[in-house]
Amino acid sequence: MARRARKRVDVRSLNEKTKKNAFNYGQPWSDDDVSALANMIAKDATTFDMAMTLGRTYYSLQTARAHVRFALSHYKVLRKWAE
């Protein structure tokens, strides 16, 4: 089976591009931000597009996506703990 060639992405340059638009840089995530993030993940938006829309850096979106992924993967345990 042939492997699909993946385009190498320069993450550092993507982060620099998003820094220029990061109007929410350093701000806490609001419930509206998290809701928008979840909707964009469901629509399979790119990390770059999410960062530009939410006014965050590329790196912060990578981290946020990882947290959302973790929470969704362990939803049952977290839900019991929250009760």
Q: Whose structure tokens read 């806490």?
A: 28
Longest dimension (CA), the chain: 48
pLDDT band at 72 (very low <50, low <70, confident <90, very high): confident
The first and second tokens of residue 35, run together, are 């809701």
Q: Running DSSP on this structure, what letter comes out for residue 21?
A: T
35-63 burial string, b = 16+ CB within 10 Å, else e? Answer: ebbeebbeeebebbebbbebebbbbbbbe
Predicted local confidence at residue 55, as pLDDT: 97
Residues listed for the chain: 83
Q: pLDDT category, 5, cuts 50, 70, 90?
A: low
